[in-house]
């Protein structure tokens, strides 16, 4: 089984961290390829960043189709380009926020999300509504850490995350914590040990869900809105998508 794990930002160190976490959790026989777009933001911290990065995600899915990927993981907690990516393939495509929310509800009736910045916390709240998990989530908390601090100031960032997770444990009445950034993929064990609650991290959750869907023989439906996009001309910078015929 080949799972293509796409880091939607362009920071190579974060892609490596994500790929290592995915590889550690993957079953024997599962091959992980961790990739990132050639163009786009170095971190994703706004709606604008997400919109730009989504094009790179789609290009990485198209590349994975040529490389016979069996499933895809979009390793950013905003799940940028998720539904568009599902249009391009029959393989399962899983966003790490949606995966983490699902897994958290299987082990606890209530969870809190601990993410990087307050503004990205608002994006997470939108996703909770969109995916139908709002009533399971007690609170979305921000440690007010720029995403790249997870790479560049790791020890200080970890301390702030642990402190915020402890506040969630003590104040929110939750049974589990969801980590709200793909760059936290390697911190689950340390945070869980420090906080004493189950900690759900989206990259690893998405990899296991992808393995399960492939094992069940289930892929993205091509009926309705997730059917392949209709071929048509594109102009300008997106001319390369003209008359696109994925799956054919």
Please give the DSSP secondary-structure letter assigned to residue 9: S
Structure-token match 């900690």, residue found: 199
Domains in the chain: ranges and CATH: 2-95+205-241 (3.40.50.12500), 97-201 (3.40.50.12500)
Phi-psi category of residue 196: left, alpha or beta, with phi > 0 → left and psi -120 to 50 → alpha: left
- The CA distance from 199 to 186, in Å, is 12
Token duo for residue 72: 């895809």
Give the pLDDT confidence of 53-112 residue by residue, as tens digits.
999 999 999 999 999 999 999 999 999 999 999 999 999 999 999 999 999 999 999 999
What's the whole-number mean pLDDT along residues 226-236?
96
What's the whole-number mean pLDDT along residues 28-45?
97
Give the pLDDT confidence of 217-228 residue by residue, as tens digits.
999 999 999 999
CB 156 within 8 A of CB 149: yes
**Residue 248, pLDDT above cutoff 70:** no
Q: pTM here?
A: 0.96
């Amino acid at each position: 089984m080949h799972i293509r794990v796409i880091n939607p930002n362009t920071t190579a160190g974060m892609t490596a961290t994500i790929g290592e976490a995915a590889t550690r959790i993957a079953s024997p026989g599962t091959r992980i390829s961790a990739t990132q777009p050639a163009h786009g933001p170095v971190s994703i911290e706004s709606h604008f960043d997400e919109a730009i990065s989504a094009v790179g995600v789609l290009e990485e899915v198209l590349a994975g189709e040529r490389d016979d990927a069996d499933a895809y993981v979009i390793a950013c907690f905003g799940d940028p380009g998720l539904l568009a990516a599902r249009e391009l393939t029959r393989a399962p495509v899983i966003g790490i926020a949606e995966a983490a929310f699902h897994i958290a509800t299987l082990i606890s009736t209530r969870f809190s999300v601990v993410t990087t910045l307050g503004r990205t916390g608002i994006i997470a709240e939108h996703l909770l509504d969109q995916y139908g998990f709002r009533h399971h989530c007690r609170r979305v908390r921000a440690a007010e850490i720029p995403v790249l601090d997870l790479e560049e100031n790791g020890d200080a960032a970890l301390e702030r995350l642990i402190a915020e997770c402890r506040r969630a444990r003590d104040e929110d009445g939750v049974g589990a914590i969801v980590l709200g950034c793909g760059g936290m993929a390697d911190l689950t064990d340390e945070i869980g040990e420090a906080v004493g609650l189950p900690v759900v991290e989206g990259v690893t959750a998405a990899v296991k869900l992808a393995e399960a869907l492939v094992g069940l023989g289930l892929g993205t439906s091509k009926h309705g809105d997730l059917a392949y996009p209709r071929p048509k001309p594109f102009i300008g910078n997106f001319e390369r998508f003209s008359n696109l015929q994925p799956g054919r």
